[in-house]
Chain A
Amino acid sequence: MSELSAESVRGEVRAWLEANWDPDRGLVEWRNMLAESGWGVPAWPKRWFGREMEEALVPVVQEEFDRIGAVGVAKTGIRTLAAATLLAHGTEMQKEKFLRRILTGEDTWCQLFSEPGSGSDLAGATTRADFDGAHWIVNGQKVWTTSAHHAQYGLLLARTNWDVPKHKGLSYFVLGIEQPGVEVRPLKQMNGHASFNQVFFTDAKIAPEFLVGEEGEGWKVAMTTLMHERRGADGTRRWAMGSNAKGRIYDEERAEIETQLEPYKWYPQRAGRVDLVVERAQETGRNADPVVRQEIARLLIMSRAAEWTARRARAAQERGRPQGPEGSLGKLASSNVARQARHVHTLITGTDSMLSGPDSPRDGTVAEILVSVPATSIAGGTDEIQRNIISERVLGMPKEPRFDTDRPFREVPRNIVDS
């Protein structure tokens, strides 16, 4: 396949789309055709709905889809992480059962990693899975679970051995959400939205064949999921726009996007809405205040420089050069930008910052910025964890001494809430 040129790929995908694309097909029917032809996920293995195409050629395929407005496979949310993890670690049976319905969008997935007692310290999970001879029996609680309320399956990290060090006692499972032992409750956030859930397990059951990887290898499998999560951190934004075109398939896609992306609709406000700042300063006349101007400039400098830093990292990667430190700073830089944006929006908005909903400027958008920004420096790895990663992995500084990895997990001090 590697001898394929961009032009031959373009010709082939174009011919296939001309022969098969029809906006009046059903969404699931069309995605099944994509799965069978390999054009939905061309970089995947041939055995599993792909064409083993090199990554560099995949954008050519995407361009041809975009050119005629053809709908692709389902890509929102946790399902792509589930697919990547199962492709790397799943059994034949698991791939057979799950991958196709991930691509068609018929199944929704969620990630059951974080717990009330283990946030930054993910490997400290205390949700337990005990084998009773026929099933794994799950008890415990997960939190910050996006989409659990309409998911069919969850990627579960649970403790199966308490007598070994923490990272060695975890196992990774696919858990069916729709069963009596699983209770999903929405978690209301400080900004009023409830994008996440708490998930409670009371003797929830998992058949032995839904263990992913070996027993006790759960941490390693979870690393694959997390690596793909970081890589696609801005993925949800890219897929957020449905087409306005006419046809049954577009109607079904719009409905899917509406449901799937509902939990993410406040995410732009969380990042600080730098795009609104200059307009807001001009419409309020606050651009005449030299102090406000200084703070706006600080924000725009930081935000532009962060964007250029990300582009430097991509350019180095495209040239095949080793990744420099600029590739690891994005998350921390985004937190700095969001905090400064919150400060600037407050300066511009003045006393109106006390208001919310329709009384707040831009129909509540400004208020939503002010109460959503704190999430940026916590979700997906806190600023403090980011600083540890940068200083230890990028700068090679010595690790802080630890007291939790050299002894059986049951002897490690834990939060009182867990015991």
Chain B
Amino acid sequence: MEFSFSDEQEAFRAVLRRFLEDKSPATEVRRLMETAQGYDPEVWRQMSEDLGLPGVHIPEAYGGQGFGAVELGIVMEEMGRALLCAPYFSSSVLAGTAILNAGSESEKRALLPGIAAGTTKAALAFTEANGRWEPDATDCIAARDGDGYRLSGAKSFVADGMGADSLVAAARAPGTAGAHGVSLFMVAPDAEGVCRSALEVMDPTRKLAHISFEAAPGILLGEEGAGAAALEQTVGLATIALANEMVGGAGRLFESAIDYAKLRVQFGRAIGSFQAIKHKCADMLVDLELAKSAAYYAAQAAGEGSAETLALASLAKAAASDAYMQLAANTIQIHGGIGFTWDNDTHLWYKRAKSSEVYLGDATYHRERLMQQWNV
């Protein structure tokens, strides 16, 4: 196990950071979060054509860059730091990984190059109204219809579902229960029987959709009934990616809290000279660095194909959920009244922290999963 990034990985991070500082300042985040589309197509084109980001973790055989989970983690951490508004996580990480895990060789060759090039924006329609990211929670039905299938049911919390031009949907064979009988299907969002509506979201930088299927036509992806295993692996990697995004956001918030504590003067001194503030900051640094260590370690494990990957995904997400939220709340507290205003940028990351805290499962859920994975 490596405990430091290589020189090449550090150089990659530096390039990304410069790009994102230039393209995704808080003013741009504020502008884009108010739009329905939610991202800047020109920045997305540059990310895709100049940096190849949508294909970072997709193998070269399918048009990607062929890097591993560690580089994916670096991309996510930097995007989290910049609070980048772009359909990267939804298309490349969730939908792209689902296709990688479930699809046949020919399906991967057909579907992944577009995602890797950024020309196709796919979304994963998995979770339903119950808000659970587990295959057995799938109620949506896929009934055979000649050579194809017809999907019926409703999906919720679909990240970037409104703008997606391709959907990967989870559904089960009629009469099946549990993880058994779940398959993945490609669904065209403009097909008959597909109805999409935008959900009103607390965090406007993460657009979510509700998608209902009424006998909507679907094409089976991979083998019938093999969806549960593919989804579990996909969510495992996505959870690690999300944990890395979260520690990136938490790190950015932390820097802003420290900067402000050094500047703000009350009672004739910088508030950062009071132990009430500096001790809080020291505790925040402990939370941040431990959550970073967990996120990095989990990404290493995923990159090495470790049998511990799912356990470590839960460990990293539990640590990141608690740390990001605690840092966000403390950053507002250190800013005082100004931190509660719309004009101060802290609430943008606070809302991202709150949304991420529960996205793909909250800390309580992941702690229990960790205990199960470790046979406690």
A and B pair up: yes
| Chain A interface residues toward B at CB < 8 A | 278, 281-282, 287, 290, 293-294, 296-298, 300-302, 304-306, 308-309, 311-312, 314-316, 318-319, 321, 325-326, 329, 332-333, 336, 384, 386-388, 390-392, 394-401
Known: A304-B294, A391-B281. 7 other contacts (CB 8 A): A293-B367, A306-B293, A336-B286, A387-B279, A390-B285, A398-B269, A398-B272
A391-B279 contact, Cβ under 8 Å, with A301-B367, A333-B290: yes
B368 touches A387 (CB 8 A): no
Q: Which of chain A's residues have a CB closer than 8 A to the CB of B275?
A: 384, 387-388, 400
Of listed B4, B262, B290, B376, residue having the most chain A CB within 10 A: B290
Q: Which of chain B's residues have a CB closer than 8 A to the CB of A392?
A: 278
A287 to B285, CA, bound (A): 31
- Nearest residue (CB) in A for B270 is A398
A282 touches B376 (CB 8 A): yes
B286 touches A333 (CB 8 A): yes
A308-B4 contact, Cβ under 8 Å, with A281-B376, A397-B261: no
Q: Which of chain B's residues have a CB closer than 8 A to the CB of A298?
A: 367
- Mostly, the B contact residues are helix
- Nearest residue (CB) in B for A395 is B258
Interface status of B342 (Cβ within 8 A of chain A): no
Segment 9-43 of B: residues with Cβ below 8 Å from A: none
A329 touches B289 (CB 8 A): yes
A387 touches B278 (CB 8 A): yes
Q: Which of chain A's residues have a CB closer than 8 A to the CB of B286?
A: 329, 332-333, 336
A357 to B319, CA, bound (A): 36
Of listed B3, B269, B283, residue having the most chain A CB within 10 A: B3
Interface status of B273 (Cβ within 8 A of chain A): yes
CB distance from A282 to the nearest CB of B (A): 7
A278 to B278, CA, bound (A): 35
Q: Which of chain B's residues have a CB closer than 8 A to the CB of A390?
A: 281-282, 285
CB distance from A10 to the nearest CB of B (A): 26
- Nearest residue (CB) in B for A398 is B273
Q: Which of chain A's residues have a CB closer than 8 A to the CB of B278?
A: 387-388, 391-392, 395, 397
A296-B289 contact, Cβ under 8 Å, with A397-B261, A398-B273: no
B258 touches A297 (CB 8 A): no
1/0 per position for B334-376, CB-CB distance to A under 8 A? 0000000000000000000000000000001001101100101
Total count of chain B residues near the partner, CB < 8 A:
38
Partner of A387, one of B282, B293, B296, B371: B282
A332 to B287, CA, bound (A): 11
CB distance from B8 to the nearest CB of A (A): 13
B282 touches A386 (CB 8 A): yes
CB distance from B3 to the nearest CB of A (A): 4
Interface status of B117 (Cβ within 8 A of chain A): no
| Chain B interface residues toward A at CB < 8 A | 2-4, 258, 261-262, 269-270, 272-275, 277-279, 281-283, 285-286, 289-294, 296-297, 315, 318-319, 364, 367-368, 370-371, 374, 376
B318 touches A305 (CB 8 A): no
A309 touches B290 (CB 8 A): yes
Task: Please list 20 pairs of residues, one from A and one from B, whose beta carbons are closer than 8 Å in the complex, sorted by A's number.
Answer: A281-B376, A293-B376, A294-B367, A301-B318, A301-B370, A308-B293, A315-B4, A326-B292, A333-B290, A384-B279, A386-B282, A387-B275, A390-B282, A391-B282, A392-B278, A396-B262, A397-B262, A398-B262, A398-B270, A400-B275
Q: Which of chain A's residues have a CB closer than 8 A to the CB of B262?
A: 396-398
A290 touches B283 (CB 8 A): no
B293 touches A290 (CB 8 A): no
Q: Which of chain A's residues have a CB closer than 8 A to the CB of B291?
A: 305
A72 to B114, CA, bound (A): 64
A221 to B70, CA, bound (A): 45
CB distance from B314 to the nearest CB of A (A): 9
B368 touches A297 (CB 8 A): yes
B273 touches A305 (CB 8 A): no
CB distance from A30 to the nearest CB of B (A): 37
A387-B283 contact, Cβ under 8 Å, with A301-B367, A311-B3: yes
A308 to B2, CA, bound (A): 10
B319 touches A305 (CB 8 A): yes
CB distance from B301 to the nearest CB of A (A): 11
A304 to B374, CA, bound (A): 13
- Nearest residue (CB) in A for B4 is A315
CB distance from B142 to the nearest CB of A (A): 34
Partner of B273, one of A294, A332, A387, A400: A400
CB distance from B322 to the nearest CB of A (A): 9
CB distance from A208 to the nearest CB of B (A): 42
Q: Which of chain B's residues have a CB closer than 8 A to the CB of A395?
A: 258, 278, 281-282, 285
A297-B371 contact, Cβ under 8 Å, with A278-B376, A397-B272: yes
A326 to B292, CA, bound (A): 10
CB distance from B238 to the nearest CB of A (A): 19
Q: Which of chain B's residues have a CB closer than 8 A to the CB of A301?
A: 294, 315, 318-319, 367, 370
B273 touches A314 (CB 8 A): no
Q: Which of chain B's residues have a CB closer than 8 A to the CB of A309?
A: 289-290, 292-293
